[in-house]
């Protein structure tokens, strides 16, 4: 016999396996149970593939009739590239459906539940909801606001520095953290840095496969994030690695303002780089809300902001960060002029300082990874 909690846990595991790889759609897992045993399971693999519920029904075959479906998101009831999941469930004779939470997509938003109930299917909602929302936190925010879920990530010394006084920043963190960072890049849609980071470090910002922690070789991952450079005044050189000129693959976007030279913008466009001219804020920098709106319209669900400190400070000052990954390395850099992880205006009083919620701490080799949210996740879902 299989306990209900174990079944939903398995469905959540299935969704977690494809987390970050189904964008701009949600990661979903489904399990069918009949007479106390699992008869079918499935997960959504990405655009154009069967939804998790349909995959589970196909695996179960005739055993789906009279079975109970556990699924991590409300079944869809609209036709896209694939038929509605609710139709497939009714045709298969599924007797009961337990899903974690309502899908906020305007094409669903409770309609899937209503259709199933109208057809006589027993529906229970809420089991595994918190973890299901965590898995699809970016999807939920995008559907609610039209903007991507923003993750600020940085590695700093014990005294909060991200580089030496010379600007040298390789490497603050250890090889285990680098391996973890590559795993994160493979799960996000876009990664952003400021132009100063491009000029100083000349990063590629690629997602790679392989474990550098043991000295092994790595290779480019099949799925690459959109690489975004915030360059208000047009200082990015044409041969910057982040633009893909070194054969790194993927796409690049330069977000600039009309204060950048028109000739520079033309040269970038001629080189195949997507240049977006956005409004400037009061500091004569690219408007971050305008950038998020642009990325959201482009189906970017997750934006990873990797710095430097000025860019991080701008995002935090504007209240646009949803989640933080802060790596703390066991070293002291010192130096009054050494770059810090988060610059900007900051808090005038300790009472105004941003305190993370739902914090988690884990060890990555000698480094510590602190993860937390800037607000209540439930409010965006």
Active-site position among 53, 74, 137, 176: 53
96 is catalytic: no
Residues 41, 14 contacting (CB under 8 angstroms): yes
- Beta-ladder partners of 190: 226, 303
CA distances from 371 to 82, 326, 327, 362 (A): 36, 6, 9, 9
CA distances from 120 to 89, 116, 355 (A): 12, 7, 47
Residues 370, 361 contacting (CB under 8 angstroms): yes
- 84: which 2 tokens? 């509605």
How far apart (Å, rounded) are the C-alpha atoms in residues 137 and 140? Answer: 5
Q: How far from the centroid of its chain's Cα atoms is residue 22's Cα?
A: 11
Contacts of residue 360, defined as CB under 8 A and 6 or more positions apart, other chains included, come to: 370, 371, 372
**Among candidate residues 184, 293, 280, 298, the one with its CA nearest the CA of residue 230:** 280
| Active centre residues (catalytic) | 53
């Amino acid at each position: 016999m299989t306990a209900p909690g174990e079944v939903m846990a398995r469905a959540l595991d299935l969704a977690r396996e494809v987390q970050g790889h189904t964008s701009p759609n949600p990661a979903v897992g489904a399990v069918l149970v009949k007479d106390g045993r699992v008869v079918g399971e499935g997960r959504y693999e990405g655009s154009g593939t069967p939804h998790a519920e349909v995959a589970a029904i196909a695996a179960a075959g005739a055993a789906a009739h009279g079975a109970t479906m556990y699924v991590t998101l409300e079944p869809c009831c609209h036709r896209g590239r694939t038929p509605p999941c609710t139709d497939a469930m009714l045709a298969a004779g599924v007797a009961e459906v337990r899903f974690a939470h309502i899908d906020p997509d305007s094409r669903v938003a409770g309609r899937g539940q209503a259709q199933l109930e109208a057809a006589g299917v027993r529906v229970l909602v809420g089991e595994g909801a918190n973890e299901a929302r965590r898995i699809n936190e970016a999807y939920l925010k995008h559907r609610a606001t039209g903007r991507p879920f923003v993750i600020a990530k940085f590695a700093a010394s014990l005294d909060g520095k991200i580089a030496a006084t010379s600007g040298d920043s390789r490497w603050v963190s250890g090889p285990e953290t680098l391996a973890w960072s590559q795993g994160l890049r493979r799960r996000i849609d876009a990664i952003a840095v400021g132009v100063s980071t491009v000029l100083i470090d000349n990063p590629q910002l690629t997602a790679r496969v392989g474990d550098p922690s043991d000295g092994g070789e790595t290779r480019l991952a099949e799925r690459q994030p959109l690489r975004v450079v915030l360059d208000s005044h047009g200082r990015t050189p044409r041969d910057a690695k982040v633009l893909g000129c070194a054969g790194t693959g993927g796409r690049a976007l330069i977000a600039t303002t009309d204060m950048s030279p028109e000739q520079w913008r033309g040269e970038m466009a001629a080189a195949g780089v997507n240049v977006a001219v956005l409004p400037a804020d009061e500091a004569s920098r690219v408007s971050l809300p305008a950038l998020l709106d642009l990325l959201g319209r482009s189906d970017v669900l997750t934006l990873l902001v990797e710095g430097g400190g000025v860019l991080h400070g701008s995002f935090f000052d504007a209240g646009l960060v949803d989640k933080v990954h802060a790596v703390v390395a066991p070293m002291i850099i010192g130096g009054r002029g050494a770059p810090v992880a988060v610059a900007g205006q900051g808090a005038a009083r300790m009472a105004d300082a941003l305190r993370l919620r739902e914090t988690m701490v884990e060890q990555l080799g000698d480094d510590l990874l602190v993860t937390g949210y800037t607000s209540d996740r439930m409010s965006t879902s």
